[in-house]
Amino acid sequence: MQNLEQVRARNALQFAKSAGDRVVGEQGGEVIKKISPTIINHGLLAAIAYSFTEREGWQLVFDAIAKHLSSPHIAIVPTQVNNRSELIAYLIGPSTTSEILKRATTETIAWLEYARRFVIKP
């Protein structure tokens, strides 16, 4: 059985290989480096909501976060949650406790630590 660090690293590396060159913000800034501070300052729900107004990079990252949180080894959200729309719908749903939101936030920031290192600015 793998530990959480291995799962995080594997999922982040997989994301970086598939979408790394498309995670670029305005003026060439890396979106991946902006998400953790946004979550810390405004919360996970606000950061996800922000991804609906931003370009492809934010959308790709939050789709990957949804897949990570729903992966069988993490299992913070149900396995059918595979994109940011489904993720925010689940996190604001009536059956989701504040404890689940806290766990999702903590795990997202931990995953982003790996993703930041694997995603290379083109």
Closest CA to 71 of 21, 99, 16, 108: 108
Residues 7, 71: contact at Cβ < 8 Å?
yes
pLDDT band at 28 (very low <50, low <70, confident <90, very high): very low
Q: How far is residue 59's CA from residue 63's CA, in Å, rounded to a whole number?
A: 6
pTM beyond 0.85, yes or no: yes
Segment 34-60, tens digit of pLDDT: 899 999 999 999 999 999 986 678 898
> Which pLDDT score, from 0 to 100, does residue 64 have?
95
In degrees, rounded to 5, the angle at the alpha carbon of residue 87 between the alpha carbons of residues 91 and 79 is 105
Using one digit for the tens of pLDDT, what is the confidence trace for 58-78?
A: 898 999 999 999 999 999 999
Q: Which residue has the higher pLDDT, 19 or 3?
A: 3
Domains of the chain are 4-117 (1.10.520)
Looking at the chain, the whole-number percentage of residues with pLDDT higher than 70 is: 87
The residue among 26, 53, 48, 28 whose CA lies nearest residue 38 is: 48
Mean pLDDT, rounded, for 78-84? 96
The Cα 6–Cα 19 span in angstroms is 20
- Provide the strand spans (E) within 1-122: none
What is the rounded distance in angstroms from the CA atom of residue 122 to the CA atom of residue 101? 33
